[in-house]
Each structure stands twice: as structure tokens, then as C-alpha cells.
A and B are shown apart, each in its own frame.
Chain A
Amino acid sequence: MRYVRLYIAFVRFAFMRAMEFRLDFFFRFGMDVIWYAYQLAFFEILFLRTPTLLGMTPADVRVFIGAVFVMDAFHMTVFATNMWWFPIQVNRGDLDFHLVRPVSSLFFLSVREFAANSFFNLVLAIGVLVWMISAHPADFGAVRLAGFVGLLLVCSLLHHALNVLFLLPVIWMHNAAGLRDLFMGLGQYMARPDVIYRGWVRRLFTVVLPFAVLVSFPVRALLGPDFLGPALQILATTAVAYGILAVAWRFALRAYSSASS
């Protein structure tokens, strides 16, 4: 309950701050709208030249893209700003202040900054996803849809775990630019359906660096005949990722020297 009250306070401050920088607020909203158009246009142009994408119909891919928008907007709203500040706080030695607070340091560093300007993009992304699902010829049923939403939320947590794990080496390296670029580069693999990955690339992006799991597997659970298989893989992957994160976080904090640079 203490964590819920704390989070509500973060959200309230975020909206107050966002209203002070209104122009930036609209620029950010416009940027994400353009990104949505860009992603949709990419697949629509591809489908002018091929009837399916390795078995996925245009309607399937539209649902997938709607889910990509929701996943991205959720991450941008809840975690991304915090992840941006994390290496800076390590380098400045500001992490000290968070380590002495009477709440989990990982929780505090992960969700303190709520991006109010991205919240409106999240609402828009949810609207696009609902539209794409309602335009799909299949009838999914309420239970499967609820399961799909639940899996998307679990995958959002997995996305966050991957982000922290990619940034954690900054404790030793002191320069996060390369790590951040690498995470963003690999993040592109989330935005394409996993059917396009074959052989060792598929194993790499579904097991070792599970970026292809993040959106494709919830969509597989929704569109495919088997809900349980992808759902279990998502839950297992997320549990393993948070297990690794818990160990790595403790190990990293022990190595944290608290010296600013």
C-alpha cells in the first residue's frame, strides 16, 4: 500500500511538471504519432508486394503493430525516463540518495519519473490496438483478450528487466552511451513479428536476448491456436530475467563506489 501511495504521488508530480512545458508536451505527442504512422506505412507498403508475411496476414500484422505501440508507449510512460537518468545518477554519485531511502532502490529508480506526456500516447496506442483487434476477422472471446492484456503487461515488466540489465554495467564502465545505443538497436527486433527470425537468430532473440518475445508471443497467444505455450514461455522468461536482475542488482550495488565522475 505504501508503494501504491508513493506511485500516485509520482504521477501527480509528473502531470504538474508536464503542464509547465506545454510546447514540449505537444512535440513529444506529435513525435510518437509520426512514429506510429511510420510503422504502419512500412508494413502497408510491404503488403503491396506480398499477400502475407510468412503466413501472417495484413490483419494479423496490424494487431501486432498495435501491440508494439502499446508496449512502446507503456515503457516510455512508466520506465524510459528513469532508465535515461539511471547512468547519469551513477556517474554523479546521486545513486547514494536512493540507496538510503526506506523503499526498494530498484523500485524507486525504475518508476520515480512518470512521463505524463507519453501517457497520452499510451491512450492513443491502446485506441489503435482496440481498433486493429476489432477490425480483425477472427472472434477472440473475452477470456483470450483478457489473457492477451495480462501477457502484454508481463512483457512490459520483461522489457524493463532487460533495460536495467543492459544499463547495469555502467556501474563498472562509467559510460552508458554504447549500452544505451545497443539496447535501442536490439529493441528494433521487438517491433517486427518473430516469424521473420529463423535458425540461430531466432534462438538468440527468443531465448538469450528475448526481444522477439516481448510483443510477438502475446500476439501469438491471441491469434494462434495455442494460448498456453506462448504464455508459459513468457512467464518463464520473465521469471528468469527478474531472477538474474535481482542477483545482478545486488552484485552491482556492492561494486558501486559512490564516486562521482
Chain B
Amino acid sequence: MRPRLFLAVTAQQVRRSMAYRVDFWISSTAGFVTTFGLAWCVWTAVFASAGSNEIRGWTLDGMLLYMVVVVLLGRVVRGGDIDMTISNEIYQGGLNRYLVFPVSYQPFKYAQAVGTLLPALVQLALFCAIFLLVVGRPADIAITPFGVLGAIAAMAVGHVLYFLLGYPLELVAFWADNVWSLAVTLRFVTTLLGGMMIPLALFPGWAQDVLAFTPFPILYAVPAETLLGRMDPALWARHMVVALVWCVIVQRIGTWVWRRGSLQYSGVGM
């Protein structure tokens, strides 16, 4: 797919994603407040119960800022994962028009996924700024130019990888009548193993060793910890290499499933 076409599709999706602004901001702000509020209650209770100001190198304020970052960053990485646009196009026959387009389906859908990012990126910047203004920068957090640039790069790779992980699952719609539960299952697995619920440093040592070779840390923990200055450049580079290898593996799986599935496709919507 040519870069100019990619940008055109992305720009169109940006306009579409900003169309229902009031509904979007009410729904997403309420979602953020409820999710962060719960994390605040949980971590305040955990620190009080542990009777310590620090757990595995995290202070309470540092942990709360991590939660703000990781919840918002998760929205960027996941994009519209449970909008189920791909599986719906398979069910409803909307895929037909893409089959006659002179572009590949997967890059086209990815360009659309990139177009949904803008509101989530604005929220990430806005809510992090509000937290830093209200609470101040915790002592265990250092925001540096490397941290910001490294986090942006990790977030970009995380976004590609999450899309590629979800793509073959949505393509299961060629065979099954409802694949929504597969997308939700992916969300559960990545939320826990990607460090969105709990920083990976709190996992048992053996689990951290195993997770370092999986596709999950790059989705949330690596960009969040890099942004907060808790990731050294060598470790960041290793995570990026592992993530890129996973991108290649999962992309191949997606292509294989597409080939098999498109043979089943009758073009008749439900």
C-alpha cells in the first residue's frame, strides 16, 4: 500500500472518529475515572497493608502515575479492538468491496486503525498533564527525552503488534458466527500479562523471565515504564527486538488464516 493512500485512509478515519465528540468525551472520561479510581483504591490498600512506602521499587505516587499512564496508553495501543469491524465486514458481506480494491485488505484496515488513535493520544497527554499538575512528579519517576521518544516508539510497535494479534482472531469469523469473545479474551490476557493491572516487577521472578520473550510487555509495560524513566536503554532495545520478531510471526499467521478463510468466503452477508 502506497504511503499517500495510507495517509488518506488514516485522515478519513480521524475525521470519522472525531464525529461524535461529546458522546466520546463523556464516555471515555467516565471510563477513565472509574478505572483509575478503582486502581487508586486497590493500590492505596495494598501499600497500607504492606506497611511499606515502597514495593519492588515503586512508591505509591509512582504506582498511581504508572496506572494513569498505562490505562490511557492501553487505549492507544488497543485502538478500537472490540469494534469488530473486520469480523462484521465478513458477516455482513462488506468485505466484497475490499476484494475488488487495488490494495491489500490488511494494510487498509491498519490505516483505519491508526486513524482512530487521535482522541486517545489527546487524552493520554491531557490526563497525564493534569495528574502531574495536581500530584506533582513522584520522586521515583524521571521523564527524559529518551523516555518520551522511547515510549512513542514502543507504543507504535505495540499498536502494530496488538492489531496483528487481533487480526487472525477476527478472521475466525470466516468459520464462526461470533468472534467477539475471542477479542475480549485477547484483551484479558494482554491486560494481565502486559502489565496493565500490575507492573511486571511485582510478578514472580520466573514469570518475568518468561514474559520477557512473549509479545505482551511491549503492549503496555514497556512504553509506560520507558516514559516514566524506569527502563534502561539496553533492556528497552531487547524488548523492541522481541516485539518486532513477534510482529513478523503473527503477521505470517494472519496471512495464512486470511488465505484459508477467504476460500470459505461466499460474499453473502447475513
Q: Are A197 and B189 in contact (CB under 8 A)?
A: no
Q: Are B192 and A24 in contact (CB under 8 A)?
A: no
Tell yes or no: A226 within 8 A of B by CB.
no
A252–chain B nearest beta-carbon distance, Å:
21
Residue of B nearest to A28 (CB): B181
Tell yes or no: B177 within 8 A of A by CB.
yes
CA distance A46 to B44 in the complex (A): 12
CA distance A21 to B50 in the complex (A): 48
Residue of B nearest to A44 (CB): B204
Tell yes or no: B49 within 8 A of A by CB.
yes
Q: Are B181 and A31 in contact (CB under 8 A)?
A: yes
Chain A residues within 8 Å of B189, by CB:
34, 38
User: A45 with B188: in contact, given A23-B176, A31-B181, A185-B34 (CB under 8 Å)?
Assistant: no
Q: Are A49 and B185 in contact (CB under 8 A)?
A: no
Q: Are B45 and A31 in contact (CB under 8 A)?
A: no
Tell yes or no: B46 within 8 A of A by CB.
yes
Tell me the interface secondary structure of chain A in the complex.
helix
**Residues of chain A having any CB pair with chain B under 8 Å:** 21, 23-24, 27-28, 30-31, 34-35, 38, 41-42, 45-46, 48-54, 175, 177-178, 181-182, 185-186, 188-189, 192, 195-198, 201
Q: Are A196 and B42 in contact (CB under 8 A)?
A: yes
Choose from A34, A46, A197 the contact partner of B41 (Cβ within 8 Å). A197
Chain B residues within 8 Å of A192, by CB:
38, 41-42
Chain A residues within 8 Å of B23, by CB:
175, 177-178
Residue of A35, A49, A197 ringed by the most chain B CB atoms within 10 A: A49
B217–chain A nearest beta-carbon distance, Å:
15
Interface string of B167-190 (1 = CB under 8 A from A): 000000001111101101100110
Tell me the interface secondary structure of chain B in the complex.
helix
CA distance A32 to B208 in the complex (A): 25
CA distance A186 to B192 in the complex (A): 20
Tell yes or no: B268 within 8 A of A by CB.
no
B75–chain A nearest beta-carbon distance, Å:
13
CA distance A177 to B42 in the complex (A): 27
Chain B residues within 8 Å of A23, by CB:
175-177
Q: Are B177 and A21 in contact (CB under 8 A)?
A: yes
Q: Are A49 and B30 in contact (CB under 8 A)?
A: no
B202–chain A nearest beta-carbon distance, Å:
6
User: A42 with B197: in contact, given A34-B188, A181-B27, A181-B30 (CB under 8 Å)?
Assistant: yes
Chain A residues within 8 Å of B42, by CB:
46, 192, 196
Q: Are B46 and A46 in contact (CB under 8 A)?
A: yes
Q: Are A27 and B178 in contact (CB under 8 A)?
A: yes
Q: Are B177 and A24 in contact (CB under 8 A)?
A: yes
CA distance A189 to B38 in the complex (A): 7
CA distance A46 to B192 in the complex (A): 12
Residue of A nearest to B176 (CB): A23
Tell yes or no: B257 within 8 A of A by CB.
no
Q: Are A31 and B49 in contact (CB under 8 A)?
A: no
Which chain B residues in 194-252 approach chain A with CB under 8 Å? 197-198, 202-204
B235–chain A nearest beta-carbon distance, Å:
21
B67–chain A nearest beta-carbon distance, Å:
13
Interface string of B37-80 (1 = CB under 8 A from A): 11001101110111000011000000000000000000000000
Residue of A nearest to B48 (CB): A54
Tell yes or no: B31 within 8 A of A by CB.
yes
CA distance A181 to B181 in the complex (A): 17
Q: Are B192 and A38 in contact (CB under 8 A)?
A: yes
Q: Are B41 and A182 in contact (CB under 8 A)?
A: no
CA distance A23 to B203 in the complex (A): 34
Choose from A24, A46, A49, A178 the contact partner of B176 (Cβ within 8 Å). A24
Chain A residues within 8 Å of B56, by CB:
49
With A24-B178, A31-B185 known, 8 other A-B pairs at CB within 8 A are A23-B177, A49-B55, A54-B49, A177-B23, A178-B30, A185-B30, A188-B38, A192-B41
B193–chain A nearest beta-carbon distance, Å:
9
User: A49 with B202: in contact, given A182-B30, A196-B44 (CB under 8 Å)?
Assistant: yes
CA distance A192 to B44 in the complex (A): 13
Tell yes or no: B12 within 8 A of A by CB.
no
CA distance A50 to B42 in the complex (A): 12
5 closest A-B pairs by CB: A185-B34, A196-B45, A50-B50, A31-B181, A27-B181
CA distance A54 to B55 in the complex (A): 16
CA distance A49 to B54 in the complex (A): 10
Residue of A nearest to B22 (CB): A178
Tell yes or no: B144 within 8 A of A by CB.
no
Q: Are A49 and B181 in contact (CB under 8 A)?
A: no
Q: Are A54 and B27 in contact (CB under 8 A)?
A: no
B111–chain A nearest beta-carbon distance, Å:
25
